[in-house]
Amino acid sequence: MSQIIQLKTADGHALDAYLAQPTGNPKAGIVVLQEIFGVTAHIRSVADGFAKDGYLALAPALFDRMRRQVEYNYDATGMQEGYAIAKALPLEDTLADIQAAITYLRQQPGIKKVGVVGYCWGGKLAWLSNTRLRPNATVSYYPGGIQECITEKSTCPAIFHFGLEDTHITQNIVEQVRHEYPGFPVYVYEGASHAFNRDVDSNSYRKEAAMLARQRTLAHFEEHLVAAQH
């Protein structure tokens, strides 16, 4: 079951969020952070997937402070418009929105731990959530701009997913991540480029890489959100 709910931030901003609920009691909570195209049907389906695996998943609409109900196409125009919004948003405001999502999940019955997973822009924000907001575990898929905050100190376990053929995030950046955080798994997928998890985009999607990354993501959350609370 899914629905659109409204979150309230510490500074009084109200934003929409897509809530996907599991059958039965949730294992834990997961915040799903969007790409620069908005909380699209694809991002909603990602949240639905985590719900099917037993998690209460919440995808906050991080563009709501500037433009509501954003769902850009996966093309050059959509990328340009989405990037413009992401660049214009103050980071502190976006982190406040993510914190509102984390707080909401932690207040739900049966939720003891909350993880954050993000894709591209959301991947970088998942890492910044790790360093600044104190969730219980994070996962960053092809985090664009990760080099800008690569030396920040982590507060919880993290893993990273990169495509070997990614022209946006070069392998020297991947090696920087490995160097800074030798204790965190950094996975690189051969034959995969940027956005390899985006199954609605045949130009980017790589099924084998996406499935393996998902298995590793679920194992990470199972270890640090589910098993760790028993």
∠ CA(146), CA(43), CA(124), 5° rounding?
A: 10
What pLDDT score does 3 carry?
Answer: 96
Sequential DSSP letters for 20-69: E--SSS-S-EEEEE-BTTBS-HHHHHHHHHHHHTT-EEEEE-TTTTT-SS
The Cα-based distances of 26 to 33, 48, 133, 169, 188 in angstroms read: 19, 13, 22, 34, 30
Structure tokens at 123: 């991947």
What pLDDT score does 33 carry?
Answer: 98
Distance CA 65, CA 69 (A): 11
What pLDDT score does 227 carry?
Answer: 86
Dihedral pair phi/psi, residue 79, rounded to 5°: -65, -45
The Cα-based distances of 214 to 105, 130, 211 in angstroms read: 21, 19, 5
Structural domains in the chain, CATH included, are: 2-229 (3.40.50.1820)
What pLDDT score does 229 carry?
Answer: 61
Contact between 139 and 116 (Cβ < 8 Å): yes
pTM of the model: 0.97
Contact between 111 and 29 (Cβ < 8 Å): yes
Query: How far is Cα of residue 26 from the mean position of the Cα atoms in its chain?
Result: 19
What tens-digit pLDDT sequence spans the chain (230 residues)? 899 999 999 999 999 999 999 999 999 999 999 999 999 999 999 999 999 999 999 999 999 999 999 999 999 999 999 999 999 999 999 999 999 999 999 999 999 999 999 999 999 999 999 999 999 999 999 999 999 999 999 999 999 999 999 999 999 999 999 999 999 999 999 999 999 999 999 999 999 999 999 999 999 999 999 986 65
Helices 91-106, 121-132: inter-axial angle, 10-degree rounding: 70
Going by the DSSP 8-state scheme, the letter that residue 147 receives in this structure is: G
What pLDDT score does 53 carry?
Answer: 97
Half-sphere exposure of 119 (CA within 13 A, CB side): 25
